Every structure is written in C-alpha cells, then in structure tokens.
Amino acid sequence: MKRGRRAAPSIARREELRAIPSVDALLRSPLLEALAKSAPRGVVVAAIRETLAAHRAALRRGGMEKPPGADALAEEARRRTEARLTPSLRPVINATGVVIHTNLGRSPLAEEAVRAVAEAARSYTNLEIDLTSGERGSRMAHLEPLLCELLGAPAALVVNNNAGAMLLALNTLASGKEAIVSRGQLVEIGGSFRIPEILERAGATLREVGTTNKTRLRDYERAVRPNTGLLLRVHPSNFAIVGFTEEVSRLDLVRLARRKRIPLLEDIGSGALLDPGPGSSGEPLLREALAQGVPLVCASGDKLLGGPQAGILAGTRRLIETLRANPMARALRVDKLTLAALAATLRLYRDPQAAARSIPVLRMMGEPAAAVRARARRVLRGLGADRAVMAGAEMVASTAEVGGGAMPLVRVPSFAVALRASRGKVGDLARELRLGPDPVVGRIEADRLLLDMRTVDPGQIPRLISSLVRALDSKR
C-alpha cells in the first residue's frame, strides 16, 4: 500500500456503514417524528445528519465494535436537537464570591432597570423624537439631565463601554498629538486591552512620565510640549502598588492643565457614584473628580455603578460638545435597551438609601455577614443530613471580592458552603453543577468546592439546593 493512502474499509465494515439508517428513515421514527412537530424541522434534520456523520466517521476509524441501532441513533439525534434549541446564553447562579464577575456578565441589574428594558424592548419609544415639538431629538436627552444632576457636571455623553469612552476622548482631543500619562498608570483594562494600545488606535502618541512606582509633578511639567494634546490620569482600579511610591495628586494635575491650557482626562474606572462600603477608601467617585476641577472624566456603567455595559463621559460643555461632534461618537452610541437600563439605574441614585437596597452590587457588598451566614445554613439544611455527610458539607468563613477590576485589596467577610467530592475529583462535582439545568459556578480551594453565599441572591436558594441535590445524587 502506498504511503498516505487510506486503507479501504473491509467488506464487513462496508456492510455496517450501509446498515446505518438514512435521514428520512430516522425522521420517521416515533421519537423524532413527534419531536419534529414541536421543534423546527430544519433543526431536527440537521441534528440527524450530524449524528449520522459522527457515527459513520467512528465506524471508519474503527472506534466502535458494532454500529448503534436506530433507537440509539434517534435518541442521540434528540439530544443534539435539544442542545441546538437551548440558548447558549443562560442565567447562572454566581457562588464564586466575586461580586462583579466579568465572565458572568458583571453587575446584575436592579429590578427597576430590568422592567425598563422589557418595556423599551416590547414597544416603540421616543428614542430620538421630541414629543413636545414632534421634531427629531437626541437619545442623550434621556440620560444627560440625569447624569448632570447626579454628578454636578455641565454636560455628559454615554457610549457603549468605558474603553469606547476613552477611545473617543483620545481620538477627539489627542489625535496626531501626545498624551502624557504616568508609567504607573499604564494599565491593562481586561481582555488584553491596554492603555498604550488604545492610545495608538486613537491616533495619539504615548508620552510616558515617571517610573512605575514614583511619578512627580515636575515629570509632567517637563513633558509638556507644543504638541501635547492632553494629560491622562488613569485610576489603577485592578491592581495596587504599595511601599516606596509617590504619585501626583488630582488637584496638582488640574492646576497644571489649567496653567498649560491642556485638557485633562481622568479615567475613574469602576464608576462609583456612592461610597461602595467598608474598606473602599481610595476608590474615586465621579462627582468628587468633577468637583475638584477635572474637566473630563470617563467611567464604566456596569461595575460599581451597577448598571448595564456603558461608558460615561462627563465634564465641561465645550469638551463634551467636541466629543459629540466626532463621527466616532455615532459608531459608539448606545441602543435603546442600554439607555433604558442605565436611566432606570441612575434614577435610583436620587435616593442613596434606595440605591443601596435596590442595586444588587451595592446590596451584596453592604449586606451584613449574619444574613450571608443564614443563607449558608439554609443550604445545608436543604441538603439533608445524609447528603451533607456524604459530601462533607459544612459552613466555613470565607472572603468575597469586589471583582470587575475594582478595589483589588478589599476583602469582604462572607460565608460559604464547602463540599468535598465523595467520588472522583472535586472538579467533577464543580462541572456537574455547571452543566445542570440551573448552572452553578463556585470556586475550588484546598480540594474543596466553595459556594460563597454573598453573591447568591436569597431568591436563588431553592434552585441552588435543587442543583446541589441533583449533582450529589448523581455521584452516589
């Protein structure tokens, strides 16, 4: 036989391949015929073809002793059909203890925001029409007054995320010019997106000053040249430098920007409108930055603010109008669903106490540890004594994290349900929980699966218990 030529199937193998039923034959089986009446026929047919192709390939490779029967093929096609019909984006119970979990969609919305999104989604809206005059309006008319009221800013603009906000600002104010930034603030904001790369894409030239741990005012002063487009101050929200450090204060940069008549852009990062809670000192607030004279700030809407993914820009009227006039602003604009969710979230901040109760991120971070402990005990009771013993389940003290690139040094006291795998590895139990009807995501520490209750909503406890019972019973 020549090298590279595949061996021809044996006579027996050819007979087995011919014995595999056709698509039409499987479609006429009672199981799939009934399924095709409730599911789109094209989806069922595609699942059948995929099933048959997989088994033909396995037979040719010699990967099975005998071909499956028609009933087994129909059952597999049914499973593949259901998998195709199941949405890939699903609700998940976050038991990781990370409040703003980027991989799990960051901040869950307040119920008021959820209702606003549903209402905007099911009907036409006055997105860009002035109902009084009947003339075309601006979608920012639904957000800008709220932001100006809450932030004390003359003007505001919202785009699709904070990276987009920075890109728009840099492209508008520093394209073809230099942007001065401290080396200690050249952060990676997630997803491998880095400040220097955003500067480059915006058409600006990076001008680094100082060192990683020490930057002084004179470093900025020496770097200012006729080709300087702006000063950039970035809050390093996802890391901290401690020890032998020095940085230039916000007020010193404000004074320098005014003296040199150069715009100052400050990236606040997590978009906190209120003090997030104990241990959060040093986390900048949007209103404070503007009150101290920063002419332009940007921040995320889906982190500590607790709203949808959005990038908020606020500052002087002149700078905001300049950004608004950039054609890039249209490419980065938000849709009506984001607008509705953000507006509803911002309205909650008119009453700070209501915001702390209603916005999930703020509620989770500020909830007393006793309430978290009570949820852990409720889960243990729901497991029953036998399952708890089998899984070595117990309540343990834990520490939750803020996440989302916010307050990296803050640890929030919490409680978790700790489980050990009765059979196999603890990773198998974690996988079983992730793949259940109500996916549960926890974290593994010291060969135990921890389900941190600070990030589990009280209303999710019955579903969490059901998922645990299902996963543990499957291991018996």
Tell me the per-residue pLDDT of 66-120, one tens digit each, with 9 for 90 and over.
Answer: 667 888 899 999 999 998 998 889 999 999 999 999 899 999 999 999 999 999 9
**Res 278 pLDDT > 90:** no
The two structure tokens encoding residue 221: 């002063």
| pLDDT digit string, tens, across residues 128-155 | 999 999 999 999 999 999 999 999 999 9
What pLDDT is stored for residue 474 in this prediction? 80
Per DSSP, 454 falls in state G
Give the whole-angstrom CA distance, residue 312 versus residue 162.
7
Give the whole-angstrom CA distance, residue 337 versus residue 120.
6
Give the whole-angstrom CA distance, residue 300 versus residue 284.
12
Domains defined for the chain, CATH in brackets: 13-84 (no CATH), 93-101+364-473 (3.90.1150.180), 109-358 (3.40.640.10)
Phi, psi dihedrals of residue 229, rounded to the nearest 5°? -90, -40
Average the pLDDT over each of 276-280, 403-407, 430-434 and give the range with the smallest value: 276-280
Say if CB 263 and CB 319 are below 8 A apart. yes
Using 50, 70 and 90 to split pLDDT, how confident is the model at 332?
Answer: very high
Closest CA to 266 of 243, 242, 246, 248: 248
Using 50, 70 and 90 to split pLDDT, how confident is the model at 3?
Answer: low
What pLDDT is stored for residue 143 in this prediction? 97
Using 50, 70 and 90 to split pLDDT, how confident is the model at 283?
Answer: confident
Closest CA to 195 of 156, 252, 233, 226: 233
Mean pLDDT estimate for the chain: 88
What pLDDT is stored for residue 284 in this prediction? 83
**Res 8 pLDDT > 70:** no
Mean pLDDT of the region 267-290: 79
Tell whether pTM > 0.85: yes
Residue in the block written with tokens 């998922």: 467
More confident position, 451 or 391: 451
What 3-state DSSP class applies to 287?
helix
Give the whole-angstrom CA distance, residue 407 versus residue 387.
37
Dihedral sign for Cα 54, 59, 63, 65, please: positive
Percent of the chain's residues with pLDDT above 90 = 63
More confident position, 300 or 1: 300
Residue 237's Cβ-count burial label (10 Å; 0-12, 13-18, 19+) is: buried
What pLDDT is stored for residue 33 in this prediction? 87
**Res 35 pLDDT > 80:** yes
Say if CB 199 and CB 206 are below 8 A apart. yes
Percent of the chain's residues with pLDDT above 70 = 89
Using 50, 70 and 90 to split pLDDT, how confident is the model at 15?
Answer: confident
- Residues in CB range of 184: below 8 A, 6 or more apart: 210, 211, 212, 213, 214, 215, 236, 241, 245, 247
Give the whole-angstrom CA distance, residue 63 versus residue 16.
13
Closest CA to 278 of 96, 414, 446: 414
The two structure tokens encoding residue 227: 């080709």
Q: Which runs of consecutive H residues, i.e. helices, occur in 236-351?
A: 250-260, 286-291, 317-324, 328-331, 336-348
| pLDDT digit string, tens, across residues 222-236 | 999 999 999 999 887
What pLDDT is stored for residue 1 in this prediction? 43
Residue in the block written with tokens 């589990």: 456
What pLDDT is stored for residue 404 in this prediction? 67
What pLDDT is stored for residue 237 in this prediction? 57
Say if CB 338 and CB 160 are below 8 A apart. yes
Q: Which range, 187-191, 207-211, 335-339, 436-440, has the best average confidence (pLDDT)?
A: 335-339
Residue 408's Cβ-count burial label (10 Å; 0-12, 13-18, 19+) is: middle
More confident position, 317 or 196: 317
What pLDDT is stored for residue 405 in this prediction? 62
| pLDDT digit string, tens, across residues 351-404 | 999 999 999 999 999 999 999 999 999 999 999 998 888 889 999 999 998 886
**Res 335 pLDDT > 50:** yes
What pLDDT is stored for residue 56 in this prediction? 83
**Res 5 pLDDT > 70:** no
C-alpha triplet 391, 396, 402: angle, nearest 5° = 115
